[in-house]
Structure 1
């Protein structure tokens, strides 16, 4: 595929996400700035295929060629639960199974203890439609995820247990673009909650 036709494909793909479909992301209450946009990230050190989460701005950048990126709005982890670092996408799942971590159950037993045996994938699952599993450089699961959400109103806020979340429609688009082995950069929070 030539770079011109690839550019047209990427632009058309990102533009299709902006088309009203009746989804939560297209409702008037969803802030327009969090809709996927093709942007010039103006970063030569951000490589194609990598993901960069900038928590203070609530954006995830999926890098393309020549500094271009698709920018998605995200929700991120609460102040004490957000973990910055560099990770690798080691696994991907459609409509993933979910189990709260032991720390989540200890922290909020009234909310999470009933799910200690897990929850099958589907519209009521907190991981939403797709999940990217982040592993450390030693090959260990960090229990951090980039995933969908059945609560699109949380995009643009710091409310999760440490993961980055997108609307289900947007995470489906991202999921198809991200390769196993992609590097993920979760930048430190510099501002308050």
Structure 2
């Protein structure tokens, strides 16, 4: 890339207030003995790649805000900033909104399909005992379990190996993130962190 083009790109980033995207953050990595595959960034819209942006909010720093209409998750930062991640959200009637807190965090969790999911897809019965952690586990590298009034809502913010689902309505209600991004998010928040899922502007 020519020097002039690089300078123009950096000026554009400075004017927008966004931090430049570091592609190396999405390469293949080894995490707790498990391999996280590289993400083909040339096949994902730049807006869904993790970046810090200007973001005015009435919620305090440390709050997780999910905007399902635009497929974004924001982690509110001090001084009018936020870290923005691309997400996949619930399809059709599986979308939800409201407030919760992170009640539990888990690295490379086992996945057990809920009874209603097994009822919709009987072939999932083979996983009633749980699917162990690994590259094909639907919960990915991290899971943040959302609680409300001290009870598990059964909704999660979790990783996914299905990078192509980011920016789309593909899940059964949970908030999916790239595995690299959910590892980053989990390292920044703790149990008790508030979560706000905004209502959708329309059914997507």
Please classify the TM superposition score into its range, dividing by the shorter chain length.
0.7 to 0.9
Q: Residue 42 of structure 1: which of 23, 42, 56 is its match?
A: 56
Rounded Cα–Cα distance in structure 2 between residues aligned with 1:59 and 1:101: 25
Higher strand fraction (1 or 2): 2
Deviation at 1:34, TM superposition (A): 0.4
Tell me, yes or no, if structure 1 residue 134 matches structure 2 residue 146: yes
Question: Could you list the per-position Cα deviations for residues 57-81 of structure 1 after superposition, in whole angstroms to 9, with x for gaps in the alignment?
Answer: 0000001112210000000011211
**Structure 1 residues without counterparts, runs of 5 or longer:** 1-13
Larger Rg: 2
Secondary structure in 2 aligned to 1:103?
A: helix
Deviation at 1:179, TM superposition (A): 1.2
CA 15–113 in structure 1, closer or farther in 2 if over 3 Å, else same: farther
Match of 2:8 in 1: none
Deviation at 1:183, TM superposition (A): 0.4
Secondary structure in 1 aligned to 2:160?
A: coil
Rounded Cα–Cα distance in structure 2 between residues aligned with 1:169 and 1:106: 31
TM-score by length of 2: 0.82
Tell me, yes or no, if structure 1 residue 124 matches structure 2 residue 136: yes
Secondary structure in 2 aligned to 1:105?
A: helix
Tell me, yes or no, if structure 1 residue 167 matches structure 2 residue 174: no
TM-score by length of 1: 0.86
Q: RMSD over aligned Cα, in angstroms?
A: 1.8
Deviation at 1:83, TM superposition (A): 1.5
Secondary structure in 2 aligned to 1:120?
A: coil
Rounded Cα–Cα distance in structure 1 between residues aligned with 2:122 and 2:81: 43
Moved over 2 A (4+): 14-27
Tell me, yes or no, if structure 1 residue 114 matches structure 2 residue 120: no
Q: Residue 99 of structure 2: which of 68, 82, 86 is its match?
A: 86
Secondary structure in 1 aligned to 2:146?
A: strand
Rounded Cα–Cα distance in structure 1 between residues aligned with 2:196 and 2:27: 31
Secondary structure in 2 aligned to 1:172?
A: helix
Q: Residue 27 of structure 2: which of 14, 21, 25 is its match?
A: 21
